[in-house]
Amino acid sequence: MTASNIPTDLLYTPDHEYVRVSADGVAEIGITDFAQGELGDIVFVELPAPGASVTAHSQFGTVEAVKAVSELNSPVTGVVLAINPRLDKEPALINSDPYGDGWMIRVKLANPAARDGLLTPTDYAAHIGA
Amino acid sequence: VTARWRLLYTEPLDGIDNMALDHALLARAARTGESVLRVYSWQSPTVSFGRHQHTAGTYDRCRLARLGLAAVRRPTGGRAVLHAREATYSVTAPIAGPLRATYASINATLLAALRRLGVDASLAPRSRAPRPDVSPCFALPTEGEITVAGRKLAGSAQCRENGAYLQHGSILIEDDQALLGRLTEDQSLTGRPGTAEKNFVGAVPAPPATLREALGRAPSVEEIADALFKSLDAEASPLSLEDTVRADLGAFRARYSDEHWTWRA
């Protein structure tokens, strides 16, 4: 198994989602390189509609790999601004570029300072035994 | 660490109760860290849809009703299965590795059980993951699934939540799957003989393999359960359902009996 990529500028959940928080209080969310590697070929993603609310540590969608459905849990609380429009036709982007073209949703944070329950890159690396 | 395993055989239930019990056992695995191998069957013929399949507008509800078929949506991925003359298994356990490894480990148990029954089964070679479209589950063997002479005998699917997974699947005793081809609004989509399989245009899928054909007789679900329980490569003891599992069943029954859950577009 190849080592997982864990970018140092992101925060993580124990359930293998990442969050990229920008200065304008918008968070970009997806699943980690480790998660996509564990699941294999991703064939379908179900995401909330823009305008929907998401809550930290609660489900916001599902992803299907080889006939296996996994829940997606939000790292943060806020309102969905956008979903990645390419994932409907190209869910494999999550495998090929999880931190880039494979992003899932962008969320306007309810509280831009909130980081409850999120893991640093070092903590996440320890969590997956990397 | 060797996981603790429990064995559960349940009498035939309807689709709602079968899915609710599998989901309650998934919650139990997350809560207790114990693994359960359950073997079951269905009170009456029931179509189960994959978690992400479009059903409303795709499957003809009137036709299902006319044929006396019940319908339920699984929590797991994959495509439609007609549960009739089959043995169904479920494994609920803490997640201990990648998806491919979980499938491989459970398939090894299925393979050992089938060999114990006298079936010369093997595993399908590596292939592309199927999209959750309208093609029937048994039209296409997926990587690692159980086949006899290249035709699918057992189909399985999974879901993962809260650090645990549920994998369940069907081992066909007789072939009732052709009926699925008569349930869609657009008959050209389902890939039964005479139509084009959506993902493999021009190819007509072979009918699935069955235990009846492989053995020259139809074993009972009890006999298949016994072979599965004896083939588990771990210490195991029988499970009787605790009050917490029975309490969870109520909540999960509500989900699986919800028309909006089963019949969404």
Residues B51, A69: C-beta atoms closer than 8 Å: yes
Residues B99, A62: C-beta atoms closer than 8 Å: no
Q: Is B48 left (phi over 0), alpha (psi -120 to 50) or beta?
A: beta
Please tell me which residue of chain B has the smallest CA distance to A16. B163
Our CA angle for B26, B32, B36, nearest 5°, is: 50
What integer pLDDT is reported at residue B194 of this predicted model? 39
Q: Any idea what DSSP says for residue A76?
A: S
Closest-CA distance, A24 to chain B, in angstroms, reads 32
Residue B204 has pLDDT above 60, yes or no: no
Q: Which of B161, B168, B170, B199 to mutate to test the interface with A (most CBs of A within 10 A)?
A: B161
Partner residue facing A67 (CB), from B75, B76, B98? B76
The verdict on B94 touching A (C-beta cutoff 8 Å) is no
* Chain segment B210-250, per-residue pLDDT in tens: 999 999 999 999 999 999 999 998 899 999 999 999 999 99
* Chain segment B248-263, per-residue pLDDT in tens: 999 999 999 999 999 9
* Chain segment B64-100, per-residue pLDDT in tens: 999 999 999 999 999 999 999 999 999 999 998 899 8
B132 pLDDT band, cuts 50/70/90, is confident
Q: Which of B24, B71, B137, B179 is catalytic?
A: B137
**Catalytic: B62?**
no
Residue B201 has pLDDT above 50, yes or no: no
- The percentage of chain B sitting over the pLDDT mark of 70, rounded to a whole number, equals 91
What integer pLDDT is reported at residue B200 of this predicted model? 40
Please tell me which residue of chain A has the smallest CA distance to B142. A66
Task: Give the whole-angstrom CA distance, residue B211 versus residue B216.
Answer: 8
What integer pLDDT is reported at residue B206 of this predicted model? 78
Contacts of B90 in chain A (CB under 8 A): none
Q: Which of A38, A62, A67, A127 to mutate to test the interface with B (most CBs of B within 10 A)?
A: A67
* Chain segment B21-47, per-residue pLDDT in tens: 999 999 999 999 999 999 999 999 999
Count the neighbouring beta carbons within 10 Å of the beta carbon of residue B4: 15
Kindly tell me the burial class for residue B7, based on how many C-beta atoms sit within 10 Å of its own C-beta (0-12, 13-18, 19 or more). middle
Residue B202 has pLDDT above 70, yes or no: no
B135 pLDDT band, cuts 50/70/90, is confident
Our CA angle for B31, B34, B35, nearest 5°, is: 120
Residue B190 has pLDDT above 70, yes or no: no
Please tell me which residue of chain B has the smallest CA distance to A69. B159
Instruction: For residue A47, give both structure tokens.
Output: 């995401």
The model's pTM: 0.91
Q: A2 or B253, which is more confident?
A: B253
For chain B, the distance separating the N- and C-terminal CA atoms, rounded to the nearest angstrom, is 44
Task: Give the whole-angstrom CA distance, residue B222 versus residue B220.
Answer: 5
Query: Residue B121: helix, strand or coil by DSSP?
Result: coil
- The percentage of chain B sitting over the pLDDT mark of 90, rounded to a whole number, equals 73
Task: Give the whole-angstrom CA distance, residue B164 versus residue B248.
Answer: 16
